[in-house]
Amino acid sequence: MVIKALAPTKSALPFDWFSPIHMLKGVGAKIAEKLEKLQIFSMGDLLLHCPFRYENRTQLTPISYLIPEQFAVVQGKIIDVKIVKARKKRCLITIVDKTGALQLLFFHFHAKQQEIWKVDMILRCFGQIKAGTRGLQIVHPEMEIIDKNQPMPSHLTPVYPTVAGLSQFWLRRTIYSLLDQYTERFKGQEDIFANQLSTLRPMLPWIESLNVIHRPLPEVDQEALIQRTHPAFSRLISEELICHHLSLQKIRQQAKARQATSLNVDESLLDAFLKNLPFALTSAQQHVWQDIRRDVALITPMLRLIQGDVGCGKTVVAALAAVAALSAGKQVAIMAPTEILAEQHYHQFNQWFLSLNFRCEFLSSKLKAKAKRNALENITLGLANIVIGTQALFQDDVQFNALGLIIIDEQHRFGVHQRLSLQIKGTTSLNPTCPHQLIMTATPIPRTLAMSHYAHLDISVIDGLPPGRQTITTLTIPQSRRDEIIERMNAVCERGQQVYWVCTLIEESDVLQCQAAEVAAQELQALVSHRVGLVHGRMETSEKESIMQAFYAGEISILVATTVIEVGVNVPNATLMVIENPERLGLAQLHQLRGRVGRGSEQSFCVLLYSAPLSEMAQSRLKIMRETADGFVIAEADLALRGPGEVLGVRQTGALQFKVADLVRDEEIVRAIPSWADKISHLSVPLLERMIQRWGFGGEYGQA
């Protein structure tokens, strides 16, 4: 509810796009905090805070023409202000025009408002018309006190995303004021960006686009504005995507400008490593290894992302990269997102490299003090050749002796500052060269995301599975048939095979999820005659490792776990996975979990044990899981269903989200961006820098 006319405000300083939002007149600490929840940190961010719909308030409706349930703008003179003391105090204001009377009803108001509302004042109101006991009324209208001859707005009224305590009135008034200042300041200036691209794609000028978005005329195509396909939005989207692309190019150039150690592979060491493997490399693995080998032989740091479906054999390719670093006397750091995956990497690399006289060191925050001191000393002195760990690798007391290669597994799980800090650790006064970087993900990346978020990396794809792998059959079964699944599980165990039982909870709480897993483990142990083990993220490392080793060895038939086993766990004898409440997980996570089975030569099954009724989105996800095991198809579907923000995990990692662009909706523009970026890359560096900063790109994000 608003009780003042929409008068312009003035910022404390002349408008500057990059001025912090708290420097705006009328923005105190509380309002700044609310704006930050909307990702508004500067004055420019406020101009890029776009409406999600519009209302036509350009025409007055006479009171006698009002129709219940419709929205309308009404103007009239106050003839009565009454406070009614019933169960709950309320205020009734009656206004009239030449055609009739209308009641305005307020359940929430304060004394200052009562003092302002006076008989004979002219109010202009907007709201939904309701049929009350005493005639038509509007409950809690938006309203303003006006002069009798004040003109109606000539443009549509925007409705913005907001948070509690931040009114539409405040947002409109403030954005209009900033937009007026910005328009006046840059009136008549050339839109260099649009002009440079005019031969490829005609565009509206920047200032005109902002005005159309915030103050569109009534005849505008509202649906195109709402869907963000209008030329005004296309202008902003194109610049945002190009600036993002340029920022990644700049990061790549900066990284390649550094010097790395050329890692030339010792052929005898490579042959010894390959002979120790119980399998031959697939052609896809060999192809990616050659990409890596070429990269690390250069004196510029490798920046390569390996992507491939679950079970395609990325880890052994990473081990080949480690052979290159060890050949040159350099250390290797391997970073994993979970302790279980880090422990598995430790055991696997130990198995591969111990016989070659290289020492692997495991670093975890849960290590006992003495073990941790010994590990840190070995790393600093260079006695540890391969260092494997989780977030513990970021700690200040971890000092490498000669770090030559960083391998990051499931990189999207880590925050930007974490990945950067590990890279910085590799460059010291004793080791001034920059380490090579190899990033792995078992989450196939949709092409649109690869083009936009990973444009600064070289990408290799392992597009085949090792021979002998069986297709996993996926079934969706309701909880009402849980007893049948337990019988099926018993039969699997009788054949000497093993089972995963995964517990999920909708609450993002480790404690609750672990409790759910504990209850499930107890229940299953009471129903089956085979040994049941339990693993979750809050267990002590030694206990967790003991359970996992028992499962690897076949001493445990059924492993009950939380989603902590999502990545990396490799037990070829496991042929059945049951995922409880799969409707609570995204497609990528379901696909990762399913990839824990089907790793041997036996036919494997994944049962999605859902709780009815399912939402439409959950039905879509489970249908896709039934129909395909292709990780790239699933990744594209996941992107379409959940959007890039969820797929990239930006809430967990702090990576950026676009202000106006959408990688799914704007895929056509995304594909054109590299050629468009080339068209403007010759512009002056200060101009390009300012454009990139305008969208908040650069800094730590892109260096990750």
Domain map of the chain by residue range?
Answer: 59-152, 267-462, 472-628
CA 647 to chain centre: 6
Q: What is the pLDDT of residue 645?
A: 54
Amino acid at 207: I
Neighbours of 266 (CB within 10 A): 15
Q: What is the pLDDT of residue 213?
A: 97
Tell me what the pLDDT averaged over the chain comes to: 85
Spatial contact of 435 and 423, defined as CB atoms under 8 Å apart = yes
Distance CA 680, CA 193 (A): 7
pLDDT > 60? residue 491: yes
Amino acid at 187: K
Q: What is the pLDDT of residue 696?
A: 85
Q: What is the pLDDT of residue 442?
A: 74
Q: Which fold has domain 267-462?
A: Rossmann fold (3.40.50)
> Comparing 59-152 with 267-462, is the CATH topology the same?
no
From 3.40.190.10, 1.10.1660.10, 2.40.50.140, 3.40.50.2000, which CATH number describes the 59-152 domain? 2.40.50.140
Give Cβ neighbours of residue 85 (< 8 Å, ≥ 6 apart).
none
Q: What is the pLDDT of residue 7?
A: 42
Model confidence, pTM: 0.74
Q: Which three-class secondary structure state does DSSP give residue 479?
A: helix
For 530-575, how does the pLDDT look when each residue is reduced to its tens digit (9 = 90+)? 999 998 877 777 788 788 888 988 999 999 988 776 555 678 899 9
Amino acid at 314: K
Q: Which fold has domain 472-628?
A: Rossmann fold (3.40.50)
- Residue 145 φ/ψ region, left for φ over 0, alpha for ψ in the -120 to 50 degree band, beta for the rest: beta
Query: Quick one: what percent of the chain has pLDDT higher than 90?
Result: 46
Amino acid at 210: L
For 298-327, how does the pLDDT look when each residue is reduced to its tens digit (9 = 90+)? 999 998 989 887 778 889 999 999 999 999
For 199-251, how does the pLDDT look when each residue is reduced to its tens digit (9 = 90+)? 888 999 999 999 999 999 999 999 999 999 999 999 999 999 999 888 888 87
For 438-483, how does the pLDDT look when each residue is reduced to its tens digit (9 = 90+)? 988 876 777 767 767 777 788 898 887 777 677 789 999 999 999 9
Tell me the mean pLDDT in the region 11-28.
78
Q: What is the pLDDT of residue 540?
A: 79
**Per-residue tokens: 546:** 């003991």
Spatial contact of 551 and 559, defined as CB atoms under 8 Å apart = yes
